[in-house]
């Protein structure tokens, strides 16, 4: 009898203590569930060394990452009746009763060079087969990075898709009263932890865009009194003015090879899309139209740009060769479609879609014979979608009770997670490319 009751007790414990992960600055809530998610147990990884124990809970970070993806659901720590740390210690019947498909066990040791060494194993519960057995070493302060890299390895081993947990997000915060706002461009880990200030200003900041190597950010600042595009090195803080013409200098976006920048200038009188060669600073005008042409982003092959234009009345998305030429309209659903983000495989375009007074994140899948639309967000003022580099999730901005917040939503729209700053508005998210190992 006890054997049969046990799963129900565990289930009750799960319901009583729903999963919650808290970042240092960003509050994370899973607002939707995913019954189809794969059940996986991440057993806490104890420190077995002789020095000072790490202050990072590696297992908890891995569990939070897997949950956030929408592809997995982890067993709550309170439900762990056994805590194996090696594959040989796993009692498979226990985990089968708990209906777990996968189990991750590991331990943390001292590394010879002074940091830590994490040894972990991923097991398939049904087959009792070891899928991964790896060790990762890192500096004392690099343990969160190690946890994100292990998350990526587990994600890729099970799903066959590269993980995007070891990545970063850029975003803009605005704090203080409306007549004396403080703006900051921030970079944090993909889970919202470790926020770092890139630049602070009393004038508006917007439109951060990552270089393909993840080392630089292009952004727009009004600190000179008019919009100006800067490119800034993240490690040194050194920055350069890229465009400061009369009129608008906006919407920077790096080409996939990092040598060119798409941007919007209105120096001729109204906003047009240009491409700048970053080495020579030479400009090529791509659009020539009296409408607003802006928010150009590169297709992954570097051959085309997708941009926003209101040449047909209201804003819609268009595609144009990156060397210039005729623009072709892409969107025919919704009154307003703007600010494209293109998935790494080029198949999907996420955008802010407006119909009357409702703005939501919509995705257009162009890989099928018939273009397929999907709405990813339920809000009223959702904007600024940004694909994760593996396109498994989309980050976007919205307003929640009058305050700007970010959400991460799984590509199937079933799991959403809110990232809220404790103070002020958060907006303009940009998901980084994969980090280089």
Partner 1 sequence: MNNATRALLVAAIAVGLSACAKKVREEAPAPAAAPAPVATAPVNDGRYGPEDLDTVACLRQRTILFDFDQDSLKPEVQAVLACHAKYLQDRPESRVTLEGNADERGTREYNLGLGERRGNAVSGAVQAAGGSAGQLTVVSYGEERPTCAESAESCWGNNRRVEIVYTAR
Task: Note the residues at the interface with partner 1 (CB under 8 A).
Answer: 178, 204, 206-207, 222, 225-227, 247-248, 250-251, 264, 266, 269-271, 292, 294-295, 308, 310, 314-315, 336, 338-339, 352, 354, 357, 359, 380-381, 383-384, 399, 402, 427-428
Instruction: Give whichever of 98 and 421 is closer to partner 1, judged by the CB atom.
Output: 421
Instruction: Give whichever of 151 and 227 is closer to partner 1, judged by the CB atom.
Output: 227
Which tokens belong to 72? 């997995």
Cβ 391 to partner 1 shortest distance, Å: 21
Q: How many CA atoms lie within 13 A of 401 on its CB side?
A: 2
Instruction: Give whichever of 72 and 230 is closer to partner 1, judged by the CB atom.
Output: 230
Cβ 393 to partner 1 shortest distance, Å: 20
Bridge-based pairing of strands 116-124 and 129-138 is antiparallel
Cβ 89 to partner 1 shortest distance, Å: 53
Which tokens belong to 37? 């998610």
Cβ 280 to partner 1 shortest distance, Å: 25
Question: What is the C-alpha to C-alpha distance for residues 299 and 199, in angstroms, rounded to an integer?
Answer: 28
Burial class (CB in 10 A: 0-12, 13-18, 19+), 45: buried
Q: Distance of CA 340 to CAs 61, 100, 345, Å?
A: 31, 39, 14
CA 217 and chain centroid, separation: 15
Instruction: Give whichever of 130 and 202 is closer to partner 1, judged by the CB atom.
Output: 202
Cβ 88 to partner 1 shortest distance, Å: 55
Distance separating the N- and C-terminal Cα atoms of the chain: 51
Cβ 11 to partner 1 shortest distance, Å: 40
Q: Are 344 and 411 in contact (CB under 8 A)?
A: no
Instruction: Give whichever of 59 and 271 is closer to partner 1, judged by the CB atom.
Output: 271
Question: What is the C-alpha to C-alpha distance for residues 418 and 183, in angstroms, rounded to an integer?
Answer: 21
DSSP, collapsed to helix, strand or coil, labels residue 87 as helix
Cβ 206 to partner 1 shortest distance, Å: 5
Instruction: Give whichever of 153 and 207 is closer to partner 1, judged by the CB atom.
Output: 207
Cβ 412 to partner 1 shortest distance, Å: 24
Q: What is the dihedral of CA 162, 69, 382, 328, to 10 degrees?
A: 30
Question: What is the C-alpha to C-alpha distance for residues 138 and 111, in angstroms, rounded to an integer?
Answer: 8
DSSP, collapsed to helix, strand or coil, labels residue 180 as helix
Q: Distance of CA 159 to CAs 32, 75, 148, 435, Å?
A: 21, 19, 16, 20
Instruction: Give whichever of 160 and 313 is closer to partner 1, judged by the CB atom.
Output: 313
Instruction: Give whichever of 137 and 226 is closer to partner 1, judged by the CB atom.
Output: 226
Instruction: Give whichever of 339 and 416 is closer to partner 1, judged by the CB atom.
Output: 339
Instruction: Give whichever of 141 and 224 is closer to partner 1, judged by the CB atom.
Output: 224
Cβ 422 to partner 1 shortest distance, Å: 18
Cβ 109 to partner 1 shortest distance, Å: 48
H or E, element range at 15: helix 2-16
Cβ 190 to partner 1 shortest distance, Å: 23
Instruction: Give whichever of 202 and 281 is closer to partner 1, judged by the CB atom.
Output: 202
Nearest to 414 by CA among 65, 34, 73, 74: 34
Report the length, in residues, of the chain: 437
Nearest to 381 by CA among 407, 359, 396, 400: 359
Question: What is the C-alpha to C-alpha distance for residues 264 and 247, in angstroms, rounded to an integer?
Answer: 10
């Amino acid at each position: 009898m006890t054997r049969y009751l046990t799963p129900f007790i565990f289930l009750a414990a799960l319901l009583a203590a729903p999963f919650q992960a808290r970042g240092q600055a960003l509050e994370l809530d899973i607002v939707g569930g995913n019954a189809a998610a794969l059940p996986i147990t991440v057993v806490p990884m104890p420190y077995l060394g002789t020095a000072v124990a790490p202050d990072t809970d590696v297992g908890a970070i891995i569990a939070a990452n897997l949950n956030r993806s929408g592809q997995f659901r982890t067993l709550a720590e309170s439900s762990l009746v056994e805590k194996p740390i090696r594959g040989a210690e796993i009692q498979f019947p226990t985990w089968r009763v708990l209906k777990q498909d996968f189990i991750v066990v590991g331990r943390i040791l001292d590394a010879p060079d002074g940091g830590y060494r994490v040894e972990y194993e991923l097991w398939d519960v049904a087959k009792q087969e070891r899928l991964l057995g790896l060790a990762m070493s890192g500096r004392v302060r690099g343990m969160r990075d190690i946890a994100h890299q292990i998350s990526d390895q587990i994600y890729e081993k099970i799903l066959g898709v590269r993980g995007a947990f070891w990545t970063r997000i850029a975003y803009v915060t605005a704090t203080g009263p409306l007549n004396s706002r403080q703006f900051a461009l921030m970079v944090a880990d993909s889970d919202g932890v470790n926020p770092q200030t890139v630049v602070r200003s009393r004038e508006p900041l917007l439109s951060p865009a990552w270089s393909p190597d993840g080392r630089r950010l292009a952004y727009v600042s009004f600190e000179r009194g008019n919009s100006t595009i800067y490119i800034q090195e993240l490690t040194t803080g050194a920055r350069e003015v890229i465009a400061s013409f009369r009129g608008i200098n906006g919407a920077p976006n790096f080409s996939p090879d990092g040598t060119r920048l798409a941007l919007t200038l209105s120096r001729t009188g109204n906003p047009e899309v240009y491409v700048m060669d970053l080495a020579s600073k030479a400009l090529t005008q791509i659009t020539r139209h009296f409408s607003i042409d802006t928010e150009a982003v590169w297709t992954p092959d570097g051959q085309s740009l997708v941009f926003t234009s209101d040449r047909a009345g209201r804003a819609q998305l268009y595609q144009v060769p990156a060397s210039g030429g005729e623009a072709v309209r892409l969107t025919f659903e919704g009154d307003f479609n703007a600010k494209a983000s293109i998935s790494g495989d080029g198949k999907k375009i996420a955008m802010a879609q407006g119909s009357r007074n409702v703005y939501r994140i919509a995705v257009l899948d162009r890989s099928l014979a018939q273009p397929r639309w999907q709405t990813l967000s339920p809000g009223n003022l959702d904007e600024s979608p940004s694909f994760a580099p593996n396109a498994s999730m989309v980050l976007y901005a919205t307003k929640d009770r009058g305050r700007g917040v970010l959400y991460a939503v799984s590509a199937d729209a079933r799991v959403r997670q809110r990232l809220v700053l404790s103070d002020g508005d958060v907006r303009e998210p940009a998901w980084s490319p994969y980090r280089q190992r």
